[in-house]
Structure 1
Amino acid sequence: MSGGAAPVLKSALGVRGDSPALVTHIGPGAGRDLAALPLRPGDRRVDLERVGAHGGALLKAPADTRPGAGGHGDDRPVGLVAVVAATLADLRRAVAMAGRLPRTHHLVAVLTAASGHHDPPLPSPPGHGQWRELQEARVRRLDDGGWVCELFFLEPVETGPALDAVASGAIGRRRGPAVTPAVALSGPDAAPWVPGTVPPATPKPEGPVERRRTTPLADVALRVGTQKQPPWEDTEVPTLERTSGDALSWAGISGPQGPARIRRGGLVEDAATHLPPVDERVVNPVGFVSAAGRRLGTLAARGGRPVVVSGRQTVAELPESGAVSEVDLARLRSLRGIQVEWSGYSGPLPVLRAVIGLAAGGVPVFAEAVPGWAEPLGEELGALLTSVCAEHLGDRLDRERYSVALRRCALRTHATAARWRELGAQAQLGPLPEPRVSVLLCTRRPELVGFALDQVARQRGVDLEVVLALHGFGADAPGVARAIDRFAAGGREITVYEAERGEVFGAVLNRTAARAAGTVIAKWDDDFYGPHHLADLMLARTYAAADVVGCGPEFVYLEEIDRTVWRPGESERAVGLVSGGSLLTDRVVLEECGWFRRLPRAVDTQLMLAVGAAGGRVYRTHAHNYLVRRRSAGHTWTEDDAYFLRDAQRQWPGRRLAGLAGREPAGAPGAGASQKEGETD
């Protein structure tokens, strides 16, 4: 615990009256110095790492969940609940344990360290009026860079939602998709499986899941422990079993089946689903450093726990579990890359979790070889780790390209949302719908319709539809009907809207968006897009808590001289503006900000200004899927080709899609075609 937090906790203990206090801590070093606090005989000091989702009273007796009991246990409030967390990632794990915390008049949440790119933990009240009795709120920065948030209530409130509000305040107002299905947690090591989520129920190891009237509070129960679980007694709610020691221990992986598959109940399951997921809301590429230093690091074992060293310096001591936090990532951003050593750890789980966390954060982690027991990483991630070497990472462009591939693979395979899609399927709950992206394609140029639709058709990993606005011409224009039929034959939906030539561009966009069926809107220009463009934007939409995501104009194709230039800029951070042709936002954001303005140009810029004015966040992700087409005329960006050549760090003859090797395939429209003014931002 930081010295700056000690006076806060002592003061809080002094004003809680005659009621008992609960002081908890979670994360490496968070419990340091708590023993010196002036606790009374009725108070409790609890290490949440040892208690978990179910396994201790925490001043609140477990609820009686027997059929017909209808009880909720001892719900007496306490005078103070304090949660001291080493990092924001640890605080989000504490939220997942909050079902065991009592109601309170006074909540103190302490972050002993901060990454530097998260907001202050300013909470937003829950939506049901629970905080109308709020008396006072304080947020202050500690001397060593951490944060403390204090909330005082005239009437006691549920601690879980209040703690969730504090943790969410540090990430941003936009919460993103919820973890589905609804999960009841049981076991001391269950919290990392749904970080940042207040569990609806914390049943006993044998069940059942608590009911509200006749309906269970969760769709599935997750039981995590080191010992064999008792028979599950709930016939309505299925259970998933995960061990924190046996299957992913050195002894467990050396049996006859080896690392290839882990068997449970006669079913063969994906080994990756036996790893706790990465909390993508905090372990992500936000804050990635493109121009890193020359130093290399090594992920190695020291006393059985993972550490990252560079030469004789220890850059970061990771938790014994191997779970990387946002603070760890911030300490490692300046390294050019990190090589993995696979031996010496207390078990395979810490090194596997460390590698996945580093990859999800975009840290260029690599290895000379990947042992067979590391199969839970997944085949694709394992292959990526061995695809580069230290020399390869010396090139800034190659390093960033590798980082993009790593983060994409790790987040799609091991993030919380991805993990629970797989676990929900294993529990036979059936798939839930993915958000649909409506691609808005407005053009005045019939000769580019086929090219643009072919690029949309190449998009991978996303459910999409196209709303095509033909601005000033009809589907009977040469080649247009054939292009539309070719796209529709691929199985994706397309809606065609013919706009009058005299309509203002902003009005055409709004009429196009009104025909969209998706919950997410993506604007598409006649630039060049890689096949992961939309899927990567959707990832950033989740992990960046952003209202608008896009990328910068780093890669530009100068059509007049047939040359591609790279002008690197900052990415993976909140900004004021992104390139209009890469803009992706939720439909509800468009509605809240008044849709596109009825202007002939600059409508994307005006939308982003409106988002910022409303308190929203615009986020710039990497630009490796997007190549801006720079024509000789028709831009509001008035600089000539010399401007782009002068600032270019690298350039190539011909057209290279976002810096990726090779030219664009034949069939892309060539130089010399100009865009009419007003159709691009």
Structure 2
Amino acid sequence: MGTARGTDEDVADTLVARALDGARRPALVLRADAADAAGTPRPTDDGVTTVPPGDLPAAPDGASWRTVVLVADDPADLRRLAPVVTVSGTGWAREVAVVVRRADTPLTWADPSPGPTAPAVRRPERVESVLAHGGTLLTATLDRRGDVGAVLTAVALAAGTTRATTGDPDVGVHNPVGFRRRWTRDHVDLDPRAPLTPALVAGLRDARGVRVPPDADPRTVQGLAMAGVPLVRPGDDDVPDDALAREERSVAQRRTALVAHAHDSGWRAPTVSVLLATRRPAMLGHALAQVARQRLALPGAAIEVVVAPHGWDADETEITAALPRTPYVVRPVAADAPLGAVLQEATDAASGDVLLKLDDDDWYGPDVVTDLLLARRYSGATLVGMPAELVRVVPADATVRRKGPSENFGTLVAGGTMLIGAADLRALGGWRPVPRHVDARLLDDLLAAGGTVYRTHGLGYLLRREADGHTWDPGTDYFLRPDSLLDRWAGFRPPPSVGIVEQAGSTP
């Protein structure tokens, strides 16, 4: 074992040196053996910093990393590490290299088709791939700085055609990306001998539900649940013949399976800073209640709240009472400051690995933070969010469910659900100091820089629309057009996943 491990290290050292030869500095090398016996990272040398994946330092002297190199043991390890590195917020670079210690075939670049199942990734100016010393090295040089996570995800998706059939399912392969809301077949029976493969998942997505026999392979069952395929286990009722109820079951099952996978794999969630900018003192209690009800199921998950009163002074006793076990920061901002500047003040005061923008008047289910963190892990996207799918239209006394895709890569998410790495936001230059369309400007900047946007399900988020008072206001009729709706209910009808408990100020 000692000889094999030494050989692997020699291969990695040789290929990393080749990747760094002539590469731009500062350079960041991510490899699991970066820490010495004392647990300290390898020192910076010649503009190169080497650390374990997921333990990312800032570039020296406030600069950005210009080259990033990821070292993996084999193609399966690469597929596991790519989402971890992306979640950790590597940011942007001009050169990205991937080293695989043990490989039979060279790594390749395969342009993923932008759309529901793959991120849009800028094609590199130059891609070189070699097979040497029993391993492989791919280097990609971009025409300008691009999203490292998106590049790593593209390479990982193209890494090999075989899939492991033992051990934990690969979250980079078996996940809800591509979930289908509509079905063309009724329930189908799962073959108990069926191994878990991408083809099996794809072939079951059009079923209303999948009946799981008692002797089914547990790994296959876990992978199907992670992918969001609605399952009927022994003793369960059939999947309801209702699109919303079917998706509710899928979301609950996938969350359970993905959380279990995170615990079993040793993955730890990034810490979250909730950014709460509000002009309305009367809505502070409502907004804090949405944070307080979050149940953080992922290992390492933790929340802090940055309250940015816009033109008024918040009563900290109210915040403490609402969040007795949650750390918070209060950063008042002058009334004449534009909204973008308010959000930037909150961002500057935040200490979390990732930032979640929360709107003060909407409703958030107790698993919103968990679901966004999960989506960030399995999608590898720079920014994740939920669609504005469920809307409480107060002037019409109605609750609607709007049409639109979910669990897909795209260009738009609801502003009150945007989750982005703190390092990624810094690399973009932060929030633009504008009074309106702040969310749209951030998405524009991110996409122009080569970042990716992923939209997870929208069942845990309920947008509130009043007759006026919104920074983005297309008018009430915009949310009530019959051709844009899946469902419409009279009155206040939050779905089960929002799980609102009646409380003062919560229900209009």
Q: Same fold (TM over 0.5)?
A: yes
Give the aligned partner of residue 256 of structure 2. Answer: 409
Q: Does 1:368 align with 2:234?
A: yes
Paired residue secondary structure (1:499): coil
Counterpart check, 1:341 vs 2:319: no
CA displacement at 1:655 relative to structure 2: 2.4
CA contact (8 A) 2:387 2:414 kept: yes
Instruction: Tell me the residue number matched to 1:92.
Output: 76
Decide whether the 8 Å contact of 1:281 with 1:544 is kept in 2.
Answer: yes
Correspondent of 1:325 among 197, 204, 207: 197
More RCO (CA 8 Å, sep 6+): 2
**Contact 1:292/1:336 (CA < 8 Å) preserved in 2?**
yes
3-state SS, counterpart of residue 534 of structure 1 = helix
Q: Residue 557 of structure 1: CA displacement? A: 0.3
Verify the 8 A CA contact 2:391 2:400 in the aligned structure 1.
yes
Equivalent residue for 1:585? 420
Give the secondary-structure state (helix, strand or coil) at the position aligned to 2:217. helix
Asked if structure 1 preserves the Cα contact closer than 8 Å seen for 2:366 and 2:498, the reply is no
Deviations 1:297-316 (A, max 9, x none): 21024xxx32xxxxxxxxxx
Long gaps (5+) in structure 1: 1-53, 55-61, 78-89, 126-133, 138-150, 179-190, 194-243, 245-275, 307-321, 344-349, 370-385, 422-431, 672-681
Do the aligned partners of 2:461 and 2:498 also contact (CA within 8 Å) in 1? no
SS across alignment from 2:190 = strand
- CA distance change for structure 1 residues 300 and 602 in 2, over 3 Å: closer, same or farther? same
Residue 157 of structure 1 deviates from its aligned partner by 6.4
Measured after TM superposition, the shift of residue 327 of structure 1 is 3.3
> Cα gap change, 1:645/1:667 in structure 2, threshold over 3 Å: closer, same or farther?
farther
Distance 1:174 1:655, change over 3 A: farther
Question: Whole-Å Cα distance in 1 between the matches of residues 122 and 467 of structure 2?
Answer: 48
Q: Within 5 Å, which residues of 2 pair with 1:557-568?
A: 557-568=392-403
1:620-659 to 2 correspondence within 5 Å? Answer: 620-635=455-470, 636-641=472-477, 643-644=479-480, 646=482, 647-658=484-495
Equivalent in the alignment of 2:84? none
2:264 to 411, 414, 419: 419
Q: Residue 309 of structure 2 corresponds to which residue in structure 1?
A: 470
In the TM superposition, residue 363 of structure 1 has moved relative to its aligned partner by: 0.4
Question: 1:27-38 residue pairs with structure 2 within 5 A?
Answer: none
SS at match of 2:431: coil
Q: Following TM superposition, by how much is the alpha carbon of 1:63 offset from its aligned partner in structure 2, in angstroms? A: 2.5
Q: Counterparts of 2:205 and 2:338 in 1: how far apart (Å)?
A: 45
Instruction: Note the alpha carbon deviations across 1:277-324, whole angstroms, 9 max, x for none.
Output: 1211111000111122233221024xxx32xxxxxxxxxxxxxxx2x2
2:185 match: 294
Q: Distance in 1 between matches of 2:116 and 2:349?
A: 41
- The alpha-carbon deviation at position 656 of structure 1 amounts to 3.0
Q: Within the alignment, does 1:63 sit opposite 2:3 as a pair?
A: yes
1:129-140 matches, cutoff 5 A:
137=128
Contact kept in structure 1, 2:226 and 2:257, CA below 8 Å: yes
CA 657–161 in structure 1, closer or farther in 2 if over 3 Å, else same:
farther
What is the correspondence of 1:95-110 to structure 2 with a 5 Å cutoff? 99-101=101-103, 107=106
- How far 1:529 moved relative to its partner? 0.3
Partners of 1:300 and 1:342 within 8 A in 2: no
Q: How far apart are the structure 2 equivalents of 1:643 and 1:616? A: 29
**In structure 1, distance between residues paired with 2:229 and 2:253:** 8
Residue 446 of structure 1: CA displacement?
Answer: 0.3
> 1:576-612 deviations in whole A, cap 9, x for unaligned?
1101011110011111111111100111111011111
- 1:484 paired to 2:350: no
Counterparts of 1:148-227 in structure 2 under 5 Å? 151-152=129-130, 156=132, 159-162=135-138, 172-173=150-151, 192=164
**2:461 alignment partner AA:** Y
One-letter amino acid of the counterpart of residue 356, structure 2:
A
**Residue equivalent to 1:389:** 238
Using a 3 Å threshold, how does the CA distance of structure 1 residues 124 and 95 change in structure 2: closer, same or farther? farther
CA shift digits 1:65-124 (9 cap, x unpaired): 79xx99969x999xxxxxxxxxxxx9536979964448xxx837699x999834699998
Rounded Cα–Cα distance in structure 2 between residues aligned with 1:70 and 1:341:
42
Distance change >3 Å, CA 450–CA 353, structure 1 → 2? same
Q: Secondary structure at the match of 2:183?
A: coil
**Greater displacement, 543-552 / 557-566:** 557-566
Q: In 2, are the aligned partners of 1:529 and 1:657 still within 8 Å (CA)?
A: no
- Report how far residue 483 of structure 1 moved: 2.1
Q: Are residues 117 and 64 of structure 1, via their aligned partners in 2, closer, same or farther at CA, if it must alter by over 3 Å? A: closer
The Cα shift of 1:172 comes to 3.1
- Matched residues in 2 for 1:569 and 1:640: separation? 18
Asked if 1 retains the 8 angstrom alpha-carbon contact of 2:116 and 2:177, the reply is no
Could you say what secondary structure the match of 1:173 adopts?
helix
Q: Alpha-carbon deviation of 1:163?
A: 11
Deviation of residue 487 (structure 1)? 2.9
Change (3 A) 1:163 1:418: farther
**Mapped contact 2:79–2:170 kept (Cα < 8 A):** no
Cα contact 1:119–1:171 (8 A) shared by 2: no
Q: Give the drift of 1:326.
A: 2.9
Q: Note closer, same or farther for the CA distance 1:454–1:76 as it changes in structure 2 (3 Å cut).
A: closer
Give the corresponding residue for 1:518: 352
CA shift for structure 1 position 435: 1.6
CA contact (8 A) 1:290 1:396 kept: yes
Q: Are the equivalent residues in 1 in contact too, given 2:149–2:381 (CA < 8 A)?
A: no
2:274 touches 2:303 (CA, 8 Å); kept in 1? yes
RMSD across aligned positions (CA): 3.9
TM-aligned CA distance change 1:585 to 1:94, over 3 Å:
closer
Kept after mapping to 1: 8 A contact 2:119/2:452: no
* CA shift in 2, pair 1:551/1:65, >3 Å: closer
CA distance in 2, matches of 1:342, 1:465: 43
Alpha-carbon spacing, 1:434–1:661, altered in 2? closer, same or farther (3 Å): closer
The structure number with the bigger radius of gyration is: 1
- State the TM-score, normalizing by the size of structure 2: 0.71
Matched positions, count: 410
Q: Aligned residues: percent identity?
A: 33
In 1, the alpha carbon distance for the partners of 2:120 and 2:463 equals 36
Match of 1:398?
Answer: 245
